[in-house]
Amino acid sequence: MPETRAVFFDRDGTLMEEVDYCRDPAHVRAFPGLAAELRKLKDQGWKIIIITNQSGIGRGYFTTEEYQAVQAELERQLGGIIDATYFCPDHPDLPSTRRKPAPGMVEEAARDWDIDLAASWFVGDKSVDVDCGKAAGCRTILVLTGYGQSQAEKIQPDHITPDALAAIELILSSESR
């Protein structure tokens, strides 16, 4: 039975300010204070994994290399503590088992890292994040950053928090009870 716990995070609008189809590392802005909060998760033994749809690649808006440069800058701003990132470049019009809301990337991460999905969380700012987390068997948190405000009335996450910092605090406090 897997014993590793993880917090799966969406990237754009959750860990960094929303930039439509971000292709330039100069536009990356991790939310203030997030690196320190993520460190608290790491210190409690959690894996930190990013799960992100990147249809801009499939749409031809940016290249895989540009995506990777943006991702590297985000990880630098977050203090280099991200354990893994899974991204799906598929165009939304194509069938995909990896593109959120499908749980393929989360299931892949669970196999790669021996993660107990029932003991894990998925944090994101869109219905596809919540639906993906639920489909994978994780507890879910919708953050109100990014697109979260416009999504809040449409979906039923386990929790809603103002941002990823508050989501991390909720996760840590719920685990200490």
Element at 42 (helix H, strand E): helix 34-43
Q: 98-104: long-range contacts at Cβ-Cβ below 8 A with a sequence spacing of 24 or more?
A: 99/53, 99/55, 100/10, 100/51, 100/53, 100/128, 100/129, 100/131, 100/132, 101/127, 101/128, 101/129, 101/131, 101/132, 101/135, 102/132, 102/135, 103/132, 103/135, 103/136
* Residue positions annotated with a catalytic role: 10, 12
From the centroid of its chain, how far is CA 84?
11
